[in-house]
Chains A and B, each alone.
Chain A
C-alpha cells in the first residue's frame, strides 16, 4: 500500500514535468533518438509478441526481467518514468500485472495503451478461482495468435506509414502460432490418454490443458503462499498412484517440499514418481535460453512434458 502511494506521487511528479504537448505521436521525450517508436511491454510474453509484429521498425523494452513473477511485480518510480515516456505501452491484461493495474489504468489516459488479453474473444477465456478471467492466455497458441492483430493496429496508430508492414507481420506470426498449435496438440496426444495429467505446483496451465487435451492439477491452487493441507497431499498421492502418473513438474518460484512429500507418499504405495523438467510459466527465459521466445518456450514445455509422461514407467527403470 505504501509502495502504491509512493508510486502515485512519482507518477504525478513525472506528469507535471512532462507537458502534454510532448505526447504528440512520435515525440517520445528524450528517446535514444534513432526516430524509431519506443514500445514498452510489461511481461516477457507481451514483449515477444510486440517484437514479432514490429520487427526492426520499433524499439521494444520489457519492464519485467525474465524469471520474474508478474503477479507480484511492483513497479519502481523509474518504471513509471519509462512507461510515461513510451510511445506505446502494451500490457498483458486480465489483472496478470496485479500490482501494476492501478498505475496502468492511470497511464492509459496519457500514453497510447493496449492490454492484449482484453482484445481476445471473451467467450474463449477461462475463469480463474475468484470468478475473474484467468490471465494465462499465452499458453494457448491459437488464442494468443489473435492478439497479433490488435498489436499491429496499435503500432499502426503510432506509426501510420508502416501500417501495412505491421499488418503483414502480424498475419504471418499468427499463422506461425496456429501451425505451432497443431504441432503441440499432436505432441501431447502422443502421451497415453490415462497419463495425460500435468501436476504442477502453481495453477497457470489451464489454457494449455484445454487447448492441448491434458488434465491440469495444481498442488496448491493459485495461491502460492497458502499452506497445503494433508487432505491436498493425500488426494494428489491417490491421483498420481491410481493413474500411474510418472512425473510431476516443479517451478523454481514455488517451494518443492510438497512435491517431496508427494514422491514419498507415492513410493510408499510402490509407485515411483519422478520430477519432470522445469516448465516456463509466467515468464519466458532470458537471452540464450531455450525459451527466449514464446514459441520456443511452448515447444520446450511440450517436449519436457512428453519426455516425462510418455515413456512407459517400467521402461524407465531397468
Chain B
C-alpha cells in the first residue's frame, strides 16, 4: 500500500495530535501565508499604501484566467504565475495613473481595482460559459479553496512565504526607512525607487500566495488587518512587523481549526474572521491606544486636580 505512486509528500504521516492529514497540510500552508502576509502588509501600512494589496488582489483573477487560456494548464504554480504577472501589471498601471496622469491616489486605486476585477470576472465567465475542459474551478480563486490545498500547494505557499520573510529580514533597515520617511531616505542617498518597488513587489507576492488560501476578495484582509491590529500594541517597526506576523499566523491557525469543527464551515472566511476578532480585541484592550485604556485615562484625568 505504501508503494503506491502519486502518494503525497508526507504519506507516512498519521494524524498528529488528533488532526487529520488534510488539516495539517492546510494548517502548514495557511499559517506560513498568514505570518508572511502580516509582515509584508506592515510595510505597506507604514508606507501608507494599505490598498496596494487590494489593487493587486483584484487583478489576479484576470491573470488566473489568462494563464489558463494561454497554457491550457490549471496546476497551481502556472495559475499563480499568471496571477503574479497580472498583479504586477496592475501595480505598474497604478503608478502610471498616479505619477504620469496625476490621478488622485484613491481614485487611481479604485480605477485599477474596478477595471481589472471586472475584466477578470468577464474572462472567467467566458471560460465557464464556453465549457472549456478544466475551466471549472477557476472561479474558485474568487473565494479561495483553502480546505482543498494539497501538500504540494502548501509547500509552494510556504516556500514563497519564507522567501518573503527572509527578504524583509535581510533588507529590514532599508525597507523600514523608506516606509517611514521616503524623502529622508532619498536625502541620505538610499535608492528609494528601488526599495519602494521591492516593497510593493513583496505585497504583490504575498497577495498572490494568499490567493488559494483566501481568494481574491478576502486576501487583502490578510495583508491589512494583522498590521492594523499590531499597530495598536507598539510603535516600534521591528516589533510591529513581528507582531503582525504572529497575529496573521494566529488567525490562520484559529480559522483553520474552527473550520474542522463541523462540516459546512468555509475555511478561508473563518481565517479572515479570526483576524478581524484579533483586530477588534486590539482596538479595545491595547495599552495607550486601546479604547478601554483611553477611557479609563480620560476618567482618571477628570478626577485628578
Contact = CB atoms under 8 A, between A and B. Distances in A.
Do A and B assemble together?
yes
Interface in B244-282: 256, 259-270
B147 interface: yes
A229 B266 contact: yes
Nearest to B151: A264
Interface string B220-257: 00000000000000000000000000000000000010
A60 interface: no
A283 to B, nearest CB: 10
B169 interface: no
Given A67-B131, A255-B140, A268-B11, A227 B147 contact: yes
B78 interface: no
B268 A227 contact: yes
A162 interface: no
Nearest to A232: B263
Interface string A226-242: 11111111110110000
B219 interface: no
Contacts of A238: 20
A99 B61 CA distance: 26
Interface residues of B, number: 45
Interface stretch (B1-9, B37-45, B52-60, B187-195): B1-9
A260 B22 CA distance: 11
A149 B226 CA distance: 64
A229 B259 CA distance: 6
A227 B7 contact: no
Given A232-B147, A267-B4, A272-B4, A227 B266 contact: yes
A269 B14 contact: yes
B280 to A, nearest CB: 23
A230 B263 CA distance: 7
Interface in A194-251: 221, 225-235, 237-238
Contacts of B7: 267
Contact of B1 (A254, A265, A270): A270
Given A258-B145, A272-B4, A230 B259 contact: yes
Nearest to A263: B6
A124 interface: no
B133 interface: yes
Contacts of B10: 268
A231 B25 contact: no
A230 B145 contact: no
Nearest to A228: B147
Contacts, number: 116
Contacts of B150: 260-261, 264
B298 interface: no
A234 B20 contact: yes
Chain A: number of interface residues, binned into ranges: 20 to 34
A54 to B, nearest CB: 29
Contacts of B265: 229-231
Most buried by A among B10, B263, B267: B263
B26 interface: yes
A228 B264 CA distance: 7
A235 B147 CA distance: 12
A227 B269 CA distance: 10
Contacts of B264: 221, 229, 231-232
Contacts of B63: none
Interface string B130-152: 01010011011001111111110
A252 interface: yes
Contacts of A67: 131
Nearest to A67: B131
A258 B146 CA distance: 10
The 4 A-B residue pairs with the shortest CB-CB distance, nearest first, are A255-B137, A268-B21, A261-B148, A257-B148
Given A229-B260, A229-B265, A229-B270, 16 more contacts: A228-B148, A229-B147, A230-B147, A231-B262, A231-B264, A232-B263, A252-B131, A252-B136, A256-B137, A258-B148, A260-B148, A261-B149, A264-B21, A265-B21, A267-B7, A272-B4
Interface of B: 1-2, 4, 6-8, 10-11, 13-14, 20-23, 25-26, 131, 133, 136-137, 139-140, 143-151, 215, 256, 259-270
30 contacts: A221-B264, A225-B139, A226-B266, A227-B147, A227-B215, A227-B266, A227-B267, A227-B269, A229-B260, A229-B263, A229-B267, A230-B23, A230-B26, A230-B256, A231-B261, A231-B262, A234-B22, A235-B263, A253-B131, A255-B145, A257-B145, A258-B147, A260-B148, A260-B150, A261-B148, A261-B149, A267-B8, A267-B11, A268-B14, A270-B1
